[in-house]
Amino acid sequence: MVKKPCIYVEEIDSPIGMLTIACHHDGLCSIEFGSLQEAAVPLQSWAKKHMMHNELKKDQDYTGEAARQLTEYFNGERQTFDLPLCLKGTPFQIKVWRALREIGYGETKSYKDIAQAIGNPKAVRAVGSANNSNPLPIVIPCHRVIGSSGSLVGYGGGLDKKVTLLDHEKMIMKS
């Protein structure tokens, strides 16, 4: 009998509220803000679009390492993530997401900086759109992207979460 593919999920509590992490056998594929109950519909929609199936199953054998590393991040014990990622997006989005991973812990970059880093300096708005589509906030640190004036602009989890994440990193860097 062939095993039906599914997305493995786990909820973790964090200083910015509940997070639901989703993994596939290829790696971490999504982090949603909110409980599994709140995240189930968007996760199932994402999974159906990108993975051609939408069954969600709790299984810490798949999600445990991601949960551990996120907990370490929030405890100030981890500044980078060493996880296999299952990224699903356009080639442009994936290029942007890889550039976001190069932003150092406690640092910020503007959308313009990211556009220049990927070799497409006029693609500032497209970079913003790719940033907004990031399926792995925190691990792919889109919270570290700010406006060119230094202003805090949009964040999928809300600006309050962005501020909390940036303040957390600054505090850890000072200690």
Those residues with Cβ within 8 angstroms of residue 37's Cβ, 6 or more apart along the chain or in another chain: none
The catalytically annotated residue of 23, 29, 86, 142 is 142
86: annotated active-site residue: no
- Do the beta carbons of residue 47 and residue 53 sit within 8 Å? yes
Q: Is the dihedral of CA 161, 37, 25, 46 positive or negative?
A: negative
Residue 139, helix vs strand vs coil? coil
Enzyme catalytic residues: 142
